[in-house]
Amino acid sequence: MAEDDPPRLGVGMIGYAFMGAAHSQAWRNAPRFFDLPLRPELTVLGGRSEGAARAAARRLGWADVETDWKALIERDDVDVVDICTPGDTHAEIAIAALAAGKHVLCEKPLANSVAEAEAMAAAAAQAATRGVLAMVGFTYRRVPAIELARRMVADGRIGQIRQIRAQYLQDWLADPQAPLSWRLDKQRAGSGALGDIGAHIVDLAQFISGEVLTSVGGVLTTFVSERPVADSFAGLHGRGGTGRGPVTVDDAAIFLARLSGGGIATFEATRFAWGRKNAIRLELNGTTGSLAFDFEDMNVLNYFDATLAPVEAGFRRIVVTEPDHPYLSAWWPAGHGLGYEHAFTHQAVDLVGAIAAGRQPEPSFADGLQIQRVLDAVERSSTAGGAWVALPTAAGS
Amino acid sequence: MAEDDPPRLGVGMIGYAFMGAAHSQAWRNAPRFFDLPLRPELTVLGGRSEGAARAAARRLGWADVETDWKALIERDDVDVVDICTPGDTHAEIAIAALAAGKHVLCEKPLANSVAEAEAMAAAAAQAATRGVLAMVGFTYRRVPAIELARRMVADGRIGQIRQIRAQYLQDWLADPQAPLSWRLDKQRAGSGALGDIGAHIVDLAQFISGEVLTSVGGVLTTFVSERPVADSFAGLHGRGGTGRGPVTVDDAAIFLARLSGGGIATFEATRFAWGRKNAIRLELNGTTGSLAFDFEDMNVLNYFDATLAPVEAGFRRIVVTEPDHPYLSAWWPAGHGLGYEHAFTHQAVDLVGAIAAGRQPEPSFADGLQIQRVLDAVERSSTAGGAWVALPTAAGS
Amino acid sequence: MAEDDPPRLGVGMIGYAFMGAAHSQAWRNAPRFFDLPLRPELTVLGGRSEGAARAAARRLGWADVETDWKALIERDDVDVVDICTPGDTHAEIAIAALAAGKHVLCEKPLANSVAEAEAMAAAAAQAATRGVLAMVGFTYRRVPAIELARRMVADGRIGQIRQIRAQYLQDWLADPQAPLSWRLDKQRAGSGALGDIGAHIVDLAQFISGEVLTSVGGVLTTFVSERPVADSFAGLHGRGGTGRGPVTVDDAAIFLARLSGGGIATFEATRFAWGRKNAIRLELNGTTGSLAFDFEDMNVLNYFDATLAPVEAGFRRIVVTEPDHPYLSAWWPAGHGLGYEHAFTHQAVDLVGAIAAGRQPEPSFADGLQIQRVLDAVERSSTAGGAWVALPTAAGS
Amino acid sequence: MAEDDPPRLGVGMIGYAFMGAAHSQAWRNAPRFFDLPLRPELTVLGGRSEGAARAAARRLGWADVETDWKALIERDDVDVVDICTPGDTHAEIAIAALAAGKHVLCEKPLANSVAEAEAMAAAAAQAATRGVLAMVGFTYRRVPAIELARRMVADGRIGQIRQIRAQYLQDWLADPQAPLSWRLDKQRAGSGALGDIGAHIVDLAQFISGEVLTSVGGVLTTFVSERPVADSFAGLHGRGGTGRGPVTVDDAAIFLARLSGGGIATFEATRFAWGRKNAIRLELNGTTGSLAFDFEDMNVLNYFDATLAPVEAGFRRIVVTEPDHPYLSAWWPAGHGLGYEHAFTHQAVDLVGAIAAGRQPEPSFADGLQIQRVLDAVERSSTAGGAWVALPTAAGS
C-alpha cells in the first residue's frame, strides 16, 4: 500500500452465489476505474460450508472466510456488511450488523414481509443517528441509461409524467422442467416474479419519475405448480434431479397503479416470456416528451422531445457511452459499451462515496420498505380478486 | 363491362371522413388486385350535406349521392351498406339496412352501448336466416402479419397461451391544444381511447389467440378535461377555433384480463404516448414460443420458437411480404411492403367472398357485441375503483 | 365528368407486368388523394398479345388496348406515353413518342447503353423546346422519407457530405433454382443487379446529396451462370420449366466512388443477400450530422444531429407520416404508414404537376443519361480489373 | 496462495493507456470467472515515466514497474510480455521478447509495415520451435457473438460464402477540432482508420468466413488535414492545446475484395460517421443463409436460415448470452449481457490455455502478417488510383 492510498474500507460479504459473484466483481473493480475516497478491501466472505466458502473466496478474491455470519459482523476489520443471501435472512443479519455499528448493503427485495422491512427501516433510521449507514441494492438504478433518464425527467425534459409502462420479462421458468430453487420457495424468497424482478421495475419507475405509487391493483398467477428438485445450480439454471416439489410463489405478476403526480402505470413481471431473457422495459410519457429503455439494449436510452417540430421529431437513440454520461468517464471510449455487471460497480462506488461523506446512500432501507409495501399491496389486491389497494403516502409511511 | 365480368355488387357507403376514405380505397382497389366472385361498384355515397357529399363522391369515386341514409338503404342498386359514421348512429342504420335486406359492413366499435350492440347482433342473427350478412370492421385483423400470427397460434407454433401484452399507443391528443372532435364526445363516440383503439387490441388479442377474455379490471383516465373547439378537420387533426369545450371520454385506458384458456393479459390504450403514432403492439407468450408485432413495423412478425436449441434460438423477424403469406400473392414482390390502407382492401375482399358464398363473414355482429361487453366491463370496473368484472362465457352470450 | 373537373390527361401505357401494375395503381390513385391540375385518364394499354392485353386492361382499369405501340403513340387521345417495358425497347419507343408530341414517362434504367441514352436525352432536349416533356422513373425518390432526407441535406442539416454508403440488397436469385427471366438476359435488360437496382441507389445517393459521382471503380460478378427456363411468372417470381439457359448479366455489383463535393461512397447491389428482401439502405455522413434510411422500414428516416450536446445526441427515428412531411397531407393520420406503391402515385402527381405547369419534370432524361454513364463506367471498371473510371463532369455531359 | 492453486504465469505489460487498461482488466478478471490451467499474475508494468507508470500500476493492479522495456523482458518473473504500445514499437519489443524466451501478446495491427511484420512472423516461427508462443490481439474475435458466427459458418449453416459487407464506423474525429494524437501520426501508427479499425474487420471477415482475401482495390482519404495539438488525453479523446499539426494518416478507407472461396466483399473503415460510435457491422451472405452482427448490439447475432420455408423464414435475433454460447457459461444468467472489455478477458483465457497446452494461440503472428499484407495492398491500390492488387495465397505467404 502506497503512502497516498485512501484509507481502507473492510467489506464482509455474506452469500456467494449469483449476487455474491456480482458484488465481488464490483468491490474488485470499483477502485480500478474510479477515484474512491476509501479503498474497499475484500476482507471476509461468509458462508455456512467452510469448504465451499473457501473455494468461493479464492475464486472471488476474498481474503478470509467465516462460517458464522454473526462472527463476520463482529470483526473489527469489517466496516461494511454486504448481504447477498435469500430474502428470509435479510432482516436478522441487517439489523444485527447495524447494531454492531457496520454499514450495510442489502440485496433487494429488502425483506420477505412488510413487518421485517419495517423493523429493518427502523434499525437503519436508528443507526443513521450514529453515523451507520444502510442501503438496499436496487442495482439497476446504476445502469447509466437509467440514471440519465432520471436526470432528464428531473430536468423537465419530458414534463409532467402521465403514463408509465414497466415490464420485466424473463423466460428461465417457461420450461416446466426447469427445476426448483430457493427463488421458487415462498418461505425463502417471499414471493416469485413479483419480489424478484417486479420489485426492480417498481423501484425504477419511481426512481426515474421521482414519484411514488399511491394505489395498485393486480393479479399474481402460477402457471407451473410443481417442478423437479434440482441437484445443482449454475447461475439461475439448475440441473434437475429426480424428485419433484411444489412451486409456492407467483410465476407472473401484472398490476396497474396510480402515481403520486396523477399519472397511471402498468407493470408486468414474468419469468415465462419465451425469448425475453432479461428485458427490463420502461416507457414514460410526459406532457412534453417520452423516454424508453430496454435492458436488452442496455447502453441505449430513447428520448422523444415533443417540443421539436413534428416534421423532425422522433425517438432519439442516445448511445449512453459518452464521457459526459453518468459513470462513463471512468470506462472506455464512446461506443465501447458496458455490461450487466458494471451497475454493481457503480453501486459500490456510490456507497463508498456516501460512507466517506457520511451521507445517506440511496436507495435507503426506508425506500426498500416503501417498495415492500407496494409488493405487499399487489399481493393483497390479487388475493382480494384484483380490487385496488391504497398505499400510505410518503408523509404517512 | 365485359361478358365474363363477375356480377356486380352495389355498395352504398354512409360517411366519408377518415374511415370513408379508407373504405372507398378498399372498394376501388379490391378488384384491381384480387380475383373476386362479385364486382364491387361504388354506387352511392350518403352524407347529410349534398354539396360536401357530391365533392366527396367525385373525389372518392362514388357514382351518386344520397343525403338521407334511409333513402340510400332502400335503393335497389345497393346490395351492401357500409357504415362509416360515428358510433351513435351505427345501431339505427345497421338494423334498418339489415331489415331492408342489405348486407352490412359496420365500422367498429359496433355501437356505443351493450344494449345497442345486443339489438344489432339480434338483428344480424335474424337477417342471417334470410341470407343477409353483417360484419363489423375490425380491420387490423387483415394486416397480413396479424393473420399470419393467428395461423401460427392455430397451428400450435407457440403452444398454449400464457400471457398477452397488448398496447395501442398514439399521441395525437398529447398536446392539450389539440382540438375537440366527435371522438372526444361521449354522446357521439361512446368512449375515448377505450372504444376507439382499445377495442382493436381486445379484438386482436382474442383473434390471434383464439380465446376470449373472461374477466377484466382496469382504470380509465382523462388527462385533459377541456380543449379548443375545432373549426375544421383533416384526418384526425383539427384546426382549433376560439371556443373551448369539455372532453367527456377517457384519454387512456389500462386494464388486466384473464383469458379463457387460463392465461393473463395486460391492455393499454392511449392517445397520450408522445412519439408513438399508431403503435399497436402485441406480444403473446405460449408454452412453446412467443409472437410479437408492432404496427410501426407492420410488415413484420417476430416469432420465437422455444423448441429450438437455446444456442440458436432467437426472435425471428419474418418480413411478411412473401407470396405465401396471407393476402400477399395479390400484391408486389417480396420486400415491397404494404401500408395502412391495404388491410381495408383485404377486408373488402373477405366480405365479398363471404357474400358470394353465402357464408357468415368474420368478425360478426356477435363478435362485435362480445367486444362491446368487454369494453363495458372495463368501464364498470373503472367506475367501481378497479374491482374486476366477470364476462359472460361464450355459451352465455 | 363535372363542370369543374380539371382537363383530362390521356395516358397510354406500354407493358403491364410488375411495373405496369404499379403505374396503373398510381394513375388510378393520384386523383383520389391529391388535387391535380389535370385529370389522368387510363386511356389505352399497349401489349403485343391482344387477349392478354385486354385481360390486363380490364384488371388494371384501362379503357382500351393497342397491340402496336406505334399506333398507341399516335392516338389523339393520348397525351402521355408511359413506358413499362424491358430496357431494350425504351429508346425506340421514347424517341418516337416524343417525336409524336407525347410527354413520356420511361421506366429506369433509361436505356441499355449509353448510346441509346444519349439519343433519348437528345430527343428529350429537342422535344422540350416544343413543350413536350420527358421523365425517367426513379420512383424511390418519391418515398417520403427519401424526399425528406433530400430536403434536410439541402437545408444544411448534416453539413457537407463526406461519406455515403448505399446498398440495395435482395435475395430473389439466391436460390440457384430460381428461373430465368428477361431481367437475367443482357440483351433485354442491359445489365443485372447493376442496372436493375444499382441504378436506384446511384440515383438516390445523388438525389439526396445534391452531388454527382465523378469517378467509380468496381466489380460485377455472376454467382449462378445457368438457370431453369421459366414457364410462367408472377411478380419477380417465375415457376420453373424443364430447360436451362445461361445467365448473361451480373448477379451482384460492388463499387466505390468519389463525389463531386469531395466525399467518397460505397455501393452494393445484389440479389443474393439471403433474408434481405428489398433493403435499400442509405447512410450519409456529413460534417455536422448523418442520415440513415432502410426501405425495410420505409416510413422512417434516422437523423443524427451532431450539433447537439453529446450527452443527448442520438439517431432520431423520424416516423415520416406527419401531415407536414412530403406527400403525407394527402394520406392517412400520423403513424398509418404508406407502402411500396405510394411512391408511384407520388411520381404520377409530380409528373402531372410538371406537365400542367410546362415545367421540366425530374429526374429528366439527362439525369437518366448521367446515371447510365455511371453504370457504364462501373462495367468498364469491372472489365478492366477494377481500375477506376472517371466520369464527365456536369458541364461536360 | 493455496496448495492447489495452478502455477503462476507472470505477465509483464508495456504501455498503460486505453489498451493497457483493457488488458489489465482482462488479466485481473480471467481467473475470477474461468478455470485456468495457469494463474496470471500482474507482475510488472512497463512505462517510460516512472511516476506515471507507478500511478498506473497502482490503479491497474500491477505489482511492480520498469521504465526500460528491455529490463522488463529480461525479468525472470515474467513469462508473458503483453505489448500495448503504438505500432512503431511492436517489432523491436516483440522480437526481443521472443528472443528472451517470453511468450508474447502483441496488440494489433501487428506492425506498421509489411517488412516489420515479416520479421516478427519469422521470429515467432523460430520461437515456436523452442515452445515460445506469440499471439496478436485481434480481440473482437472473442466477442461471443463473433465466435458463434464463426462456428455457424464452419458448421455449414449458411453454406458457401458469396458476399461479405464489413464496416467499422466511428465518429470521434468527425469534429475537426478533435486534437491530434499518436493515432493520427503515420510514423507512430502506420496508418489511420485503415490499420486501427480496418484491420479488425479484415480479421473478422476472414475469421468468420474461414477464407482469406485474394485481391483488393480501394481508396484512402483524409478529410481534415490539420488539427489542434492535444495537451492531455482521456481514452481516445484529447483536450486541445493551442498549436496545430498535420494529420498524416487516412481518415477513412473504403475497399473491395475478392475472397479465396470465390465471393466478393466490401469494406469500410471510418472515424467520420457521425452518430456511429463503435459500429462494427458484419454481414455474410452464403448459399443457404446469412449472418449479421453489429457491435452496437454486441450481445446479438442475427441469423437467416434460407432452408426454412419462406413463410416462416426471417432473421433470427439470437441473444448470445446462453450458457451454451461461447465463453458464456463463466458469466451471468441469460440476458445479462457482456460489455466491451469482456472480449479481452476471453483473449487472456485463450492465451493462457494455449500456453499451458503448448499450443499455437490464434491469431498468430503469421495471421497478423497476412492482415498487414492486406492493409499494405489497400494502401498501394489507393496510391495507384484504385487499381486492384493481388495478395499472395496462403501457400505463397
- Condensed to tens digits (0 to 9), the pLDDT of residues B278-306 reads 999 999 999 999 999 999 999 999 999 99
3-class DSSP state of C82: strand
Q: Which set of grid coordinates corresponds to residue B20? A: 370513408
**Arithmetic mean of pLDDT over chain A:** 95
C-alpha to C-alpha distance for C212 and B371, rounded to whole angstroms:
57
Residue D126 sits in the same domain as residue D168: no
Residue A117 sits in the same domain as residue A227: no
C-alpha to C-alpha distance for D204 and D198, rounded to whole angstroms:
10
| Interchain contact, C264 vs D252, CB within 8 Å | yes
Confidence of residue D3 (pLDDT cuts 50, 70, 90): low
Which residues on chain A place their C-beta less than 8 Å from a C-beta of chain D? 2, 5, 18, 22, 24-25, 28-29, 31-32, 58-61, 170-172, 234-237, 276-279, 295-298, 319, 321, 323, 329, 332-342
Q: Is residue A77 part of a domain?
A: yes
Residue C370 sits in the same domain as residue C227: yes
Q: Is residue A108 part of a domain?
A: yes
Contact between residue A178 and residue A238 where contact means Cβ atoms under 8 Å apart: yes
CA distance to partner chain D, nearest, from residue A285 (Å): 25
Q: What angle do CA B217, B219, B220 make, to 5 degrees?
A: 135
Residue C172 sits in the same domain as residue C210: yes
Contact between residue D294 and residue B288 where contact means Cβ atoms under 8 Å apart: no
Q: Specify the pLDDT at position D76.
A: 98
C-alpha to C-alpha distance for B327 and B337, rounded to whole angstroms:
12
Taking only the tens place, the pLDDT of each residue in B329-384 is: 999 999 999 999 999 999 999 999 999 999 999 999 999 999 999 999 999 999 99
Query: What's the rounded mean pLDDT across residues B201-212?
Result: 98
Q: How many domains does chain C have?
A: 2
Chain B interface, mutation test: which of A157, A158, A216, A264, most B Cβ atoms within 10 Å? Answer: A264
| Interchain contact, D237 vs A329, CB within 8 Å | no
| Interchain contact, D333 vs A172, CB within 8 Å | yes
**Arithmetic mean of pLDDT over chain D:** 95
Antiparallel, parallel or unpaired: β C103-107 and C80-83: parallel
Q: Specify the pLDDT at position C239.
A: 64
C-alpha to C-alpha distance for B182 and C197, rounded to whole angstroms:
47
Q: What angle do CA B291, B293, B298 make, to 5 degrees?
A: 145
DSSP string, A19-87: HHHHHHHHHHHHHHHS--SSEEEEEEEE-SSHHHHHHHHHHHT-SEEES-HHHHHH-TT--EEEE-S-G
Query: What's the rounded mean pLDDT across residues A48-54?
Result: 96
Per-residue pLDDT tens listing for chain C (397 residues): 455 789 999 999 999 999 999 999 999 999 999 999 999 999 999 999 999 999 999 999 999 999 999 999 999 999 999 999 999 999 999 999 999 999 999 999 999 999 999 999 999 999 999 999 999 999 999 999 999 999 999 999 999 999 999 999 999 999 999 999 888 999 988 899 999 999 999 999 999 999 999 999 999 999 999 999 877 666 666 666 678 999 999 999 999 999 999 999 999 999 999 999 999 999 999 999 999 999 999 999 999 999 999 999 999 999 999 999 999 999 999 999 999 999 999 999 999 999 999 999 999 999 999 999 999 999 999 999 999 999 987 544 4
Q: Specify the pLDDT at position B289.
A: 98
Contacts of A335 in chain D (CB under 8 A): 170, 276-279, 295-296
Residue C243 sits in the same domain as residue C113: no
Q: Specify the pLDDT at position A1.
A: 46
Residue B69 sits in the same domain as residue B151: no
Taking only the tens place, the pLDDT of each residue in A328-370 is: 999 999 999 999 999 999 999 999 999 999 999 999 999 999 9
Q: At what angle do helices C50-60 and C18-33 cross, to 10 degrees?
A: 30
Q: Specify the pLDDT at position D396.
A: 41
CA atoms within 13 A on the CB side of D179: 19
Contact between residue A267 and residue A166 where contact means Cβ atoms under 8 Å apart: yes
Kindly report the CATH number assigned to the domain that includes residue A371: 3.30.360.10
| Interchain contact, D317 vs B315, CB within 8 Å | yes
- CA-to-CA separations, C375 to B116, C255, C389, in angstroms, rounded: 65, 10, 11
Q: At what angle do helices A18-33 and D18-33 cross, to 10 degrees?
A: 160
Contact between residue A278 and residue D334 where contact means Cβ atoms under 8 Å apart: yes
B92: containing domain = 8-139
Residue D377 sits in the same domain as residue D235: yes
- Asked if the bond preceding D361 is cis, omega within 30° of 0, the reply is no
Taking only the tens place, the pLDDT of each residue in A5-40 is: 899 999 999 999 999 999 999 999 999 999 999 999
Contact between residue A36 and residue A349 where contact means Cβ atoms under 8 Å apart: yes
* CB-count burial class (<10 Å; 0-12, 13-18, 19+) for A74: middle
Chain D interface, mutation test: which of C163, C194, C303, most D Cβ atoms within 10 Å? Answer: C163
Candidate from D152, D300, D324 with C-beta closest to B310: D324
Q: Is residue B375 part of a domain?
A: yes
Handedness of CA A313, A314, A315, A319 (dihedral sign): negative
Q: Is residue D168 part of a domain?
A: yes
Contacts of D165 in chain C (CB under 8 A): 167, 268
CA A388 to chain centre: 25
Q: Specify the pLDDT at position C240.
A: 62
Check if the interface score ipTM surpasses 0.85: yes
> Phi then psi for A120, rounded to 5 degrees?
-65, -45
* CB-count burial class (<10 Å; 0-12, 13-18, 19+) for C307: exposed
Taking only the tens place, the pLDDT of each residue in B14-55 is: 999 999 999 999 999 999 999 999 999 999 999 999 999 999
| Residue whose C-alpha cell is 414481509 | A113
Chain D interface, mutation test: which of A280, A296, A331, most D Cβ atoms within 10 Å? Answer: A296
Q: Is residue A191 part of a domain?
A: yes
Residue D112 sits in the same domain as residue D172: no
Residues 6+ apart with CB under 8 A from B395: none
Residue D216 sits in the same domain as residue D92: no
Which residues on chain C place their C-beta less than 8 Å from a C-beta of chain B? 2, 5, 18, 22, 24-25, 28-29, 31-32, 58-61, 170-172, 234-237, 276-279, 295-298, 319, 321, 323, 329, 332-342
Over C359-380, what HEC string results?
Answer: CCCCCCHHHHHHHHHHHHHHHH
| Interchain contact, C314 vs A311, CB within 8 Å | no
| Interchain contact, D314 vs B309, CB within 8 Å | no
Residues 6+ apart with CB under 8 A from D285: C171, C174, C270, C272, C273, C274, D158, D161, D162, D163, D164
Contacts of B322 in chain D (CB under 8 A): 310-311
3-state helix, strand, coil in chain C (%, to 5): 35, 30, 35
C-alpha to C-alpha distance for A174 and B287, rounded to whole angstroms:
7
Give the ranges where chain A is alpha helix by DSSP (H).
18-33, 50-60, 69-74, 90-99, 114-128, 144-154, 186-189, 193, 199-209, 342-357, 365-383
CA distance to partner chain C, nearest, from residue A298 (Å): 15
Q: Is residue B372 part of a domain?
A: yes
Taking only the tens place, the pLDDT of each residue in D86-121 is: 999 999 999 999 999 999 999 999 999 999 999 999
Domain boundary among D108, D139, D170: D139
Neighbours of C178 (CB within 10 A): 20
> Does residue B240 have a pLDDT over 70?
no
Nearest-by-CA chain B residue for C236 = B333
Kindly report the CATH number assigned to the domain that includes residue B107: 3.40.50.720
Nearest-by-CA chain C residue for B31 = C59
| Interchain contact, B312 vs D319, CB within 8 Å | no
Residue B131 sits in the same domain as residue B156: no
Domain boundary among D105, D139, D173: D139
Q: Is residue B356 part of a domain?
A: no
Which residues on chain C place their C-beta less than 8 Å from a C-beta of chain A? 148, 152, 300-303, 309-319, 322-325, 334
Q: Specify the pLDDT at position C10.
A: 98
Q: Specify the pLDDT at position B395.
A: 46
Q: Which helix (H) or strand (E) holds C293?
A: strand C289-294
Contact between residue B30 and residue B36 where contact means Cβ atoms under 8 Å apart: yes
Residue D368 sits in the same domain as residue D238: yes
The torsion angle over the Cα atoms of residues C136, C138, C144 and C148, rounded to 10 degrees, is -90
C-alpha to C-alpha distance for B39 and B31, rounded to whole angstroms:
7
Domain boundary among C74, C109, C139: C139
Candidate from A314, A319, A325 with C-beta closest to C318: A314
| Interchain contact, A304 vs B275, CB within 8 Å | yes
| Residue whose C-alpha cell is 375482399 | B349
- CA-to-CA separations, D361 to D12, D82, D154, in angstroms, rounded: 18, 14, 19
Q: Specify the pLDDT at position C245.
A: 94
C-alpha to C-alpha distance for B304 and C224, rounded to whole angstroms:
33
Q: Specify the pLDDT at position B234.
A: 60
Q: Is residue B1 part of a domain?
A: no
Q: Specify the pLDDT at position C278.
A: 97
Residue B98 sits in the same domain as residue B160: no
> Does residue B241 have a pLDDT over 90?
no
Contacts of D333 in chain A (CB under 8 A): 18, 172, 235-237, 278
Give the ranges where B309-364 is alpha helix by DSSP (H).
342-357
Query: What's the rounded mean pLDDT across residues A77-105?
Result: 97
Q: How many residues does chain A have?
A: 397
> Phi then psi for A118, rounded to 5 degrees?
-65, -40
Which residues on chain D place their C-beta less than 8 Å from a C-beta of chain C? 158, 162-163, 165, 167, 171, 174-176, 217-219, 221, 223, 252, 254-256, 258, 264-266, 268, 270, 272-276, 283, 285-290, 304, 306, 313-315, 385-388
